[in-house]
Amino acid sequence: MADEPTPGEQQQQVQLMLDESQMKTSFANAYRIHTTAEEVVLDYGFNMANPNPQGGGQQLLFKVTDRIILSYPNVKRLAMSLQQLVRQYEQRMGEIPTNPGQPKAAGPR
């Protein structure tokens, strides 16, 4: 293959440098996903109770705070990384509930 170094050829190392000067940290407990043929759009934010103006109880408001647009190859790499991270966490800490606070479904009776 053309990408493989020939014998005796030194493989060049690349050093990754991080610039975190423009970084911001946000909390998210909710997300929304949009897709196109070329990209995946991830909206992050948080759910909050919103009093219903018509007096019919409460509404749940999804407040979007951040949007990230990724190419499909990057989405796949991110999904693989997150899968590995969750697997390692659950091996150490136990299964992560996906609906905390909701009772687990009872088995067949």
Q: Per residue in 70-93, pLDDT tens?
A: 999 999 999 999 999 999 999 999
- Kindly indicate the confidence band of residue 103, based on its pLDDT and cuts at 50, 70 and 90: low
In a domain, 43, yes or no: yes
User: Does pLDDT of 106 surpass 60?
Assistant: no
In a domain, 52, yes or no: yes
Q: Judging by beta carbons within 10 Å of its beta carbon (0-12, 13-18, 19+), is residue 34 exposed, middle or buried?
A: exposed
Q: What is the mean pLDDT of the chain?
A: 86
Is residue 78 situated within a structural domain? yes
pLDDT of residue 28: 95
Task: Classify residue 34: in a domain, yes or no.
Answer: yes
* Stretch 39-65: mean pLDDT: 86
Q: How far apart are CA 85 and CA 87, in angstroms?
A: 5
Average pLDDT over residues 16-40: 95
Structural domain includes residue 15: no
Please indicate, yes or no, whether the overall pTM of this predicted structure exceeds 0.85: no
**pLDDT at residue number 60:** 86
| Number of domain units in the chain | 1
Is 102 domain-assigned?
Answer: no
Are 45 and 66 contacting, i.e. CB atoms less than 8 angstroms apart?
A: yes
Q: Is residue 24 part of a domain?
A: no
Residue 103 within any structural domain of the chain? no
Tell whether the model's pLDDT for residue 101 goes beyond 70: no
Which stretch of DSSP H or E encloses residue 83? helix 72-93
Q: Find, among 65, 8, 74, the residue nearest to 40 by Cα.
A: 74
Range of the domain at 69: 30-93
